[in-house]
Amino acid sequence: MPLPQKKRWVSMAKGLVLGALFTSFLLLLYSYAVPPLHAGLASTTPEGTAPCSPAPGEPEALTPANGSAGGCQPRRNIVFMKTHKTASSTLLNILFRFGQKHGLKFAFPNGRNDFDYPAFFARSLVQDYRPGACFNIICNHMRFHYDEVRGLVPPNATFITVLRDPARLFESSFHYFGSVVPFTWKLSGRDKLAEFLQDPDRYYDPNGYNAHYLRNLLFFDLGYDSGLDPGNPQVQEHILEVERRFHLVLLQEYFDESLVLLKDLLCWELEDVLYFKLNARRASAVPRLSGDLYRRATAWNVLDARLYRHFNASFWRKVEAFGRERMAREVAALRLANERMRRICIDGGRAVDAAAIQDSAMQPWQPLGAKSILGYNLKKSIGQRHAQLCRRMLTPEIQYLMDLGVNLWVTKLWKLIRDFLRW
């Protein structure tokens, strides 16, 4: 191998070993720092909600109420299964704002911005958890474990998630996480994604560190075995289980239509679902898959492809039931309101590279080895009516979590190390 490539491999290997040792140290420290939970401690129930009593095997059916003769009440108990690279950070911001506006109780991670992912979710991972605790909203990254999540929210909680075209998701995940997946270091060509897809079995190690990021990531995030044989009947059983458990599955490619359905299901106001696109990559960092590579990426992520096809079909049945003309009107209203907020809030009217972001509170988290994630500059002079909403809409996930009082000591310490090593 050429000397520069070898040096780079050695450097990355050392970095990974250092990161693994550091993570092990933090986990050991955490195990001593956090006191054990005691069953005798009092439970807490969010104001205005039913107790988190033992829930039925599947969630209660919900019927969208907007436009009905009797009106409706906004639904405030929500589980958002946050999948990776699906515009989920944008939806997370929407939930943060709604919960903050109404004084709702979040189930947050403790020490970091996810629930010990890629391990399965467990209630003990929730910050300040005590047996019997009850929450309004759960929305941070996790590997889904239905029974553990179900016991933390009232029986009437709404379960939602978001999917994305698996080939496009794989492309995004490969570029964002590839540098922390060691088997990709064997790829020597300029276009590593294309090289991998020409013969993925040559490189892929299902037991490799962080391998889950690069095959059937949606299936994995939802708590299933991402290495199942496509012919295994469990694949279809899992897909139908997702359909039973989630009241709405949004699609990243039809994000505005998804938000209209969500607003209707939850009986929310238009302002509640306004958004700016967060955690997006700059255009030069977003190569588009060609026809052949797109087909290869889809075939490599065949479980996710089956999942996506199923919920793409059910999504459009929901749109038909909602009404195509009504959908068109509400999407137009959402886009008009978003455009109005863009003019009010964003300096220059668009997202900018990390180097051009003036306020550190607006700097998004970046992948290792690159600063490809865009952010925003808040206008200096915004009227009192919109100042708070503008700042909240533009605040990246990590900073918003800190604003909400989440203990992120692991995440912050990891950032200090990354900055020191210039990763």
- For the cut 50, the answer to whether the pLDDT of residue 124 exceeds it is yes
- For the cut 60, the answer to whether the pLDDT of residue 162 exceeds it is yes
- For the cut 50, the answer to whether the pLDDT of residue 179 exceeds it is yes
Most confident option among 65-74, 190-199, 235-244: 235-244
Q: What is the pLDDT of residue 37?
A: 33
- Which of these ranges, 81-85, 145-149, 172-176, 294-298, has the smallest mean pLDDT? 172-176
What pLDDT digit, counting tens, does each position of 75-102 carry? Answer: 999 999 999 999 999 999 999 999 999 9
pTM for this entry: 0.85
Mean pLDDT of the chain: 85
- For the cut 90, the answer to whether the pLDDT of residue 69 exceeds it is no
What pLDDT digit, counting tens, does each position of 257-314 carry? Answer: 999 999 999 999 999 999 999 877 666 555 678 899 999 999 999 999 999 999 999 9
- Which one, of 124, 127, 123, lies nearest residue 149 by Cα? 123
- For the cut 50, the answer to whether the pLDDT of residue 44 exceeds it is no
Cα(193)–Cα(197) distance, integer angstroms: 6
The CATH class given to the 73-421 domain equals alpha beta
Q: Which sequence spans correspond to the domains of the chain?
A: 73-421
What pLDDT digit, counting tens, does each position of 6-34 carry? Answer: 444 444 554 554 455 555 444 444 443 44
